[in-house]
A and B are shown apart, each in its own frame.
Chain A
Amino acid sequence: MTPPTRARDAALPKAAGPSRGARQERRLGLLLCAPAAVVMLAVTAYPVGYAVYLSLQRYDLRFPDQAHWVGLANYGAVLTSPVWWQALGVTVLITVVSVAVELALGLALALVMHRAVFGRGTVRTAVLVPYGIVTVVAAYSWQYAWTPGTGYLAALLPGGSAPLTEQWPAIGLVILAEVWKTTPFMALLLLAGLALVPDETVRAAMVDGATSGQRLRLVILPLMKPAILVALLFRTLDAFRIFDDIYVLTGGSNGTGSVSILGYDNLFTALNLGIGSAISVLIFVCVALIALVFVKLFGTAAPGTEPERR
């Protein structure tokens, strides 16, 4: 609570009876939130700030005494390196393709789950299974499956092909693993959106003679738009930071590394805290831009809030 508000509270002791109660409630709410906010600041704002601070230095973990300020030189080194742009290209490609495929598949699954007349619970559980498996475990299964000699999937390919060793097939398989893994999440978010579509509206459209395609395109999807945008935002942010699937499937070799893999290698293998932090900050900026685009351009809002009624 800010002092002016308190001063006003004091100046108008009785006139604002009911609203004072509301204000006190608000103050109590803020007080109750405060510890959580402090903890959040300590565990998120501080590390983010420290990463920015590190990114402005030449800092080798092995030689802390030689650390010194270099201004924006690390950002210059990252942004002029073909390695960064190559990783960014791979990351954007994986993000766009996997999220698009997930949206299409997720919508189909959501419609199936929504319409399922019998065995609803079974269908929903079955759909959710991939999402319940630990990503690294699933990634190892994929890795073995695609390795000639040990894998059943590799055995289906023409002899002598090792898809994880070539750039494009490997990126395709990373996308496949991502899609397999997170389509259920997409489907679940879309199912929640589907539940928001009133049955009467759909039936009214049916009475008016709309075909099933028209009903989906002109009635259901527009009503689901908030849910779709939230689902897309969540998945895009997640997909952009892809790490574990690539780490297990290819280790980032043969030009399959994402920006997160690049940051990890520079931080933990090269022990170059300056460059590594600069990469992390740039990833942070990219993620912030994605969120900004979704919120400002598409008007994404948190699920449940309706801007026009606020």
Chain B
Amino acid sequence: MPTVPSLRSRWASAAAGLAVVVSTLAGCGSGGQNGPVTLNWYNFPDDSGALQQAADRCGQQSGGRYTIRYDKLPRGADGQRQQLVRRMAAHDTDVDILGLDVTWPAEFAEAGWIREWTGKLRDRGTADTLDAAVRTATWRGRLYATPYNSNTQLLWYRDDLVRTPPRTWAEMLATAEDLARAGKPHYVEIQGAQYEGLTVWFNTLVASAGGSVLTPDAQAPSLGPPAVAAATVMHDLATSAAADPSLPNQMEDQNRLAMESGTAAFELNYPFVYPSMKANQPALFPHFHWAPYPAVTPDRPAGVTIGGIDLAVGAYSRHPDLAFEATLCLRSRDNQLTNALKGGLPPSLRSLYRTEELTRSYPFAADVLAALDSASVRPQTPAYQNVSIAISHTLSPPAGIRPEKDVADLRGQIQDALGSKGLIP
């Protein structure tokens, strides 16, 4: 019955449109009389209140020059990108600051939708900032955004089942199979559904095996033996006793729930699982420990994929200077600390990882920093979305992976994706 939702959304958008008109009129009225300029900050929806607090704080600190309106994007990453793309394609002058997932700056920069950070701004936007995070905001040697928060995965395990955490995937699978034979919880929880999370898993493994998905100039697939090794690890896990039966449908949150329900021994996931375990399963929490992400080969640490948000200034903004300034304020040390403590998102400033306030609620801060220092970046190309879809479709379900053949297929598909040729599945 498609008419009901569409009718409803039409009303909703009509109401939203009206609200925009009204607020724009109000904005014009006050803007004309030297009142503070309203800057629109489009970012992911945050329920903790940390982002709203940062927006309010920056508005107050601006000395009446601007206020920041925090506009919440949809929850899913695809929905966020779709809305931003539509606004920018329509040259929306009301988009001043954009919260971009770390995989989007190349695309937005190439389309000319975001402004470059140069000179002093560039220095201020990258000072004390994690290298890998700055790399995500850089396209063709120029800086197009400034890292806001960062994120990466750790290995979480239960120390009542596992004495010493495994250092490699082979060790982890062997331990899980021992646990299975002993009739104990033994699953390895990881993101196996056909979506971005699967691409992240593959990217991490390829980097851990010493390779990369694309060549450094982003013009062609690189892959090769490291990619075959990565696909082999995924296939081995999926066909072993360690695989959760739901693996081909699991995303981060299903992994968290499975770990909390007590069926798993290992979990590869972001730090948000830690406070969640504390709140939901106080009985398991004392046994819930963390370790570095397992390596593919013993001689090389894992290259865990970096995640997070970069802030960019919209190319059609009417107040670019104020927008740059407001962006720097939003990512200031204080605001990042609030975001980390209240919102649970790891900061992009190196020095924060050593402050006592952070380490008190992030006992794993040092491990996160170490992982971020050796982190890998997902393929940087304007066609990232198509490349990612090619990866997640080819390698799904993980149990059906044929390493040599699938990597060969992937090479052709990535080539097509880079040229935006043909259909995406």
The answer to whether A binds B is: yes
Cα–Cα distance between A91 and B382 once the two chains are bound (Å): 32
Cα–Cα distance between A220 and B407 once the two chains are bound (Å): 60
Pairwise interchain contact A269-B248, C-beta atoms closer than 8 A = no
Binds B, one of A7-15, A28-36, A78-86, A283-291: A78-86
**Residue with the greatest number of chain B CB neighbours at <10 A, chosen from A165, A166, A181, A265:** A165
Contact residues in B for A136 (Cβ distance below 8 Å): 5
Pairwise interchain contact B249-A147, C-beta atoms closer than 8 A = yes
Query: Residue A257 contacts which of B107, B249, B257, B425 (CB distance < 8 angstroms)?
Result: B425
The verdict on A22 contacting chain B, using a C-beta distance below 8 Å, is no
Chain A residues within 8 Å of chain B by Cβ, number: 45
Pairwise interchain contact A148-B246, C-beta atoms closer than 8 A = yes
A235 CB to closest chain B CB (Å) equals: 12
Cα–Cα distance between A16 and B403 once the two chains are bound (Å): 84
Contact residues in B for A84 (Cβ distance below 8 Å): 423
The verdict on B4 contacting chain A, using a C-beta distance below 8 Å, is yes
Pairwise interchain contact B396-A148, C-beta atoms closer than 8 A = no
Pairwise interchain contact A270-B420, C-beta atoms closer than 8 A = yes
Cα–Cα distance between A276 and B397 once the two chains are bound (Å): 26
CB contact under 8 A between A61 and B420, given known A149-B261, A253-B396: no
Query: Residue B89 contacts which of A64, A164, A181 (CB distance < 8 angstroms)?
Result: A64
A227 CB to closest chain B CB (Å) equals: 20
B372-399 vs A, Cβ < 8 Å mask (1 yes, 0 no) = 0000000000100110010000001100
Pairwise interchain contact A270-B5, C-beta atoms closer than 8 A = no
The verdict on B194 contacting chain A, using a C-beta distance below 8 Å, is yes
The verdict on A63 contacting chain B, using a C-beta distance below 8 Å, is yes
The verdict on B78 contacting chain A, using a C-beta distance below 8 Å, is yes
Pairwise interchain contact B193-A253, C-beta atoms closer than 8 A = yes
Cα–Cα distance between A64 and B88 once the two chains are bound (Å): 12
Contact residues in B for A50 (Cβ distance below 8 Å): none
B303 CB to closest chain A CB (Å) equals: 27
CB contact under 8 A between A270 and B424, given known A62-B107, A62-B111: yes
CB contacts under 8 Å to B, within A221-266, are 241, 243-244, 251, 253-254, 257, 262, 265-266
Pairwise interchain contact B249-A164, C-beta atoms closer than 8 A = yes
Q: Which residue of A lies closest to B89 (CB)?
A: A61
Cα–Cα distance between A291 and B115 once the two chains are bound (Å): 50
The verdict on B63 contacting chain A, using a C-beta distance below 8 Å, is no
Pairwise interchain contact A165-B424, C-beta atoms closer than 8 A = no
Contact residues in B for A64 (Cβ distance below 8 Å): 89
The verdict on A131 contacting chain B, using a C-beta distance below 8 Å, is yes
Contact residues in B for A69 (Cβ distance below 8 Å): none
B277 CB to closest chain A CB (Å) equals: 16
Please name 20 further chain A to chain B contacts, defined as beta carbons within 8 Å, in addition to the given A61-B89, A62-B111, A149-B254, sorted by A numbering.
Answer: A61-B85, A62-B110, A62-B382, A131-B1, A135-B1, A135-B2, A147-B249, A148-B246, A160-B245, A165-B193, A165-B246, A166-B248, A241-B2, A253-B194, A253-B195, A257-B425, A262-B425, A269-B82, A269-B424, A270-B386
**A interface, CB within 8 angstroms of B:** 60-64, 77-78, 81, 83-84, 131, 134-136, 147-150, 159-162, 164-166, 181-182, 185, 241, 243-244, 251, 253-254, 257, 262, 265-266, 268-272, 275, 279
